[in-house]
Structure 1
Amino acid sequence: MKQFFLICFFSFAVQAHGNFFWNHIDFDVAMNTSKYQLEVWVTKEVFGIAGTVMLDFYRQLYNTNSPINLCGISGELRIPKVIHQIWIGGPVPDVFTHYIQTWKDMHPDWEYKLWTDENIHTVNLYNQKFYDETDSPGVKSDLLKWELVYQFGGVYVDMDFECLRSLDIFHHTYDFYTGLQPLDTQFLQLGAALFGAIPGHPILKHCIETIKDDWHFHGAPTKSGPVHFTKSFYKTAGKGGFIDIALPALYFYPLGCREKELTYQKWVDTGAFAVHHWAKSWMPPKYRLKKFRNLGNDILTESWND
């Protein structure tokens, strides 16, 4: 196994062998918390925990486990270099072709796995009962992604995610990594559109085993998506000796869900690794941006809020 040496500076860390990059941004700057105090306050209504308490949890985890503070690690691979993506309900729409290619271009030596209606039957699902029960493509994708990464390890990425930089540094540093959504999503929550983990990680185990507890809720976000995911992460992250992190929004979600345009070079310059384009493919077309309205899955999305 090759050994890697991290060269660390105050504001960034660059790995001498391989494609490692890190630009350290203050947590609250990267979350823009000063602008979204109301959204932090509203968080308690969703999770029953004060938003400031949850914010402190994520801030402490970030400050403790930021790559700039983990320069003593060996650099050996922890998370498998596998990219998982899912599209069910027909052929992959052309609008996603460019985004898919960015992941392949930035990770030429990684395995790329696209899961579709044709090969998902090869996976034994713990929550097969719930998968068969729902007609919502969003819920089905959620159930699949938790179990795929739990079984195989690697990183899961939504189809509307564009890669800006290699994720090598995260796969050599962490057992689990993900990102917080921008606070313009109305409250403090993790994004479920990108996360990486070693096989069998307890965060995913908890996420999978507690689907039954949230199944009575309406809508993918609460039933199986980011709200459900946030609960599992908050209860499980950082325990048992695992190195886990939830990066503030700038790193994976530099484009807010209410923003219409991306200042592309700005986010590249500040250190973002990827950008989520908010296709909302699990919702009916009327809720999507114009370029994402013709995805060929309109009938499936009728049950989006069941």
Structure 2
Amino acid sequence: MIPKIIHYSWFSNDPIPEHIQKFIEKWRVVLPDYEIVLWDGPKLKEIDNTFANEAVSQKKWAFASDFLRFYVVYHYGGIWFDSDIEVFKSFDQFLNNRLFVAREAGTHGYGKKERWLTAHCFGAEKGHPLIEDCLSFYTDRHFIRSANTEIPINFRYEMILAPQVMALMAKKYGYDDNGFIDRDELIEEGIHIYPSYFFDSPQYRSMKNVYSIHREAGGWRPNNNQLLNYKGTNPKKGRLLHEFKILFQKLMLKFNMALIRVR
């Protein structure tokens, strides 16, 4: 069983922005009997992981937290929230899973789309093998690949993202990363994969089955007004447009073409 522990991180010496503080306070309201654990810079330094240390040295906080999420959930069990997660309902129903996560709302790639997993919001029992596999990606790996500041940033740093790491590792247990699939699925090792609207974005659906929304890196947005706002049922017009894009992409894929990125 997954323990009632919520892990999150904040490494910067800057104060946590007000709108992020509001998200965290809402966690306490919606999940009053959950322990909430902050992982900060000193705690990360004690773990002493090369990848995370190098990411922090470049002030690439998100990449340091990519390592940390897998480390803390593997060693302690519980739920990981990015600091920009807004919670709407209790997570109690997910605690009987060995591991829960959802598909991301967005897809990646051209032609055959891939759908990554919500590394910003997932939970697992202590020592779960999928989390161990994800953690192994960061073992003996360097974040800084080159000291040459003249080359593109993608060549200077190891910039593969935690959602992709998680999706790639989950394929070992039967995960289908087909970008046109967004369904409930139970695979090996008690891994329960939920549709994207559970923990990522409603994508023009009713809020009925939405447990949390990823407000998409709100930690470095200048103000809360730029965050997406979902209330009640999203506009039908937007949903129809979204579904039309998906249908159009399927047709393009049939002819080995890809013109629109669905988001």
> What TM-score does the superposition give when structure 1 sets the normalisation length?
0.57
Match of 1:226 among 159, 163, 169: 163
> In 2, Cα distance between the equivalents of 1:163 and 1:209?
30
- Size of the alignment, in residue pairs? 197
Give the corresponding residue for 1:188. 115
> In 2, Cα distance between the equivalents of 1:170 and 1:189?
20
Q: CA 1:214–1:230 in structure 2 vs 1: closer, same or farther (change >3 Å)? A: farther
Q: Would the aligned equivalents of 1:176 and 1:244 in 2 still touch at CA under 8 Å?
A: yes
Match of 1:157 among 64, 73, 81: 81
Q: CA 1:207–1:114 in structure 2 vs 1: closer, same or farther (change >3 Å)? A: same
Give the corresponding residue for 1:30. none
1:96 corresponds to which letter in structure 2? I
> In 2, Cα distance between the equivalents of 1:213 and 1:227?
16
Give the corresponding residue for 1:272. 210
Match of 1:244 among 191, 200, 204: 191
Match of 1:254 among 195, 201, 204: 201
> In 2, Cα distance between the equivalents of 1:185 and 1:132?
28
> In 2, Cα distance between the equivalents of 1:164 and 1:290?
19
Displacement of 1:160: 0.8
- In the TM superposition, what are the counterparts of 1:124-139 in structure 2 within 5 Å? 124=47, 128-134=49-55, 135=58, 136-139=60-63
Displacement of 1:195: 0.8
> In 2, Cα distance between the equivalents of 1:163 and 1:289?
16
Match of 2:125 among 187, 198, 201: 198
Displacement of 1:105: 1.1
> In 2, Cα distance between the equivalents of 1:152 and 1:200?
8
Q: Would the aligned equivalents of 2:23 and 2:85 in 1 still touch at CA under 8 Å?
A: yes
> In 2, Cα distance between the equivalents of 1:94 and 1:185?
32
Give the corresponding residue for 2:12. 89
Q: CA 1:145–1:132 in structure 2 vs 1: closer, same or farther (change >3 Å)? A: same
Q: Would the aligned equivalents of 1:255 and 1:276 in 2 still touch at CA under 8 Å?
A: no
Displacement of 1:185: 6.0
2:214 corresponds to which letter in structure 1? H
Give the corresponding residue for 1:110. 34
SS of residue paired to 2:29 = helix
Displacement of 1:223: 2.3
Q: Would the aligned equivalents of 2:105 and 2:201 in 1 still touch at CA under 8 Å?
A: yes
Q: CA 1:100–1:185 in structure 2 vs 1: closer, same or farther (change >3 Å)? A: farther
Give the corresponding residue for 2:183. none
Displacement of 1:222: 5.0
SS of residue paired to 2:41 = coil
Unaligned runs of 5+ in 2: 146-152, 175-186, 228-263
Q: CA 1:223–1:142 in structure 2 vs 1: closer, same or farther (change >3 Å)? A: same
Q: Deviations over 1:244-292 (max 9, x none)?
A: 1121111111245xxxxx88xx31x3x111111112647xx69x98647
Unaligned runs of 5+ in 1: 1-77, 257-261, 293-306
Q: Would the aligned equivalents of 1:178 and 1:196 in 2 still touch at CA under 8 Å?
A: yes
> What TM-score does the superposition give when structure 2 sets the normalisation length?
0.66
Q: Would the aligned equivalents of 1:214 and 1:228 in 2 still touch at CA under 8 Å?
A: no
- In the TM superposition, what are the counterparts of 1:49-64 in structure 2 within 5 Å? none
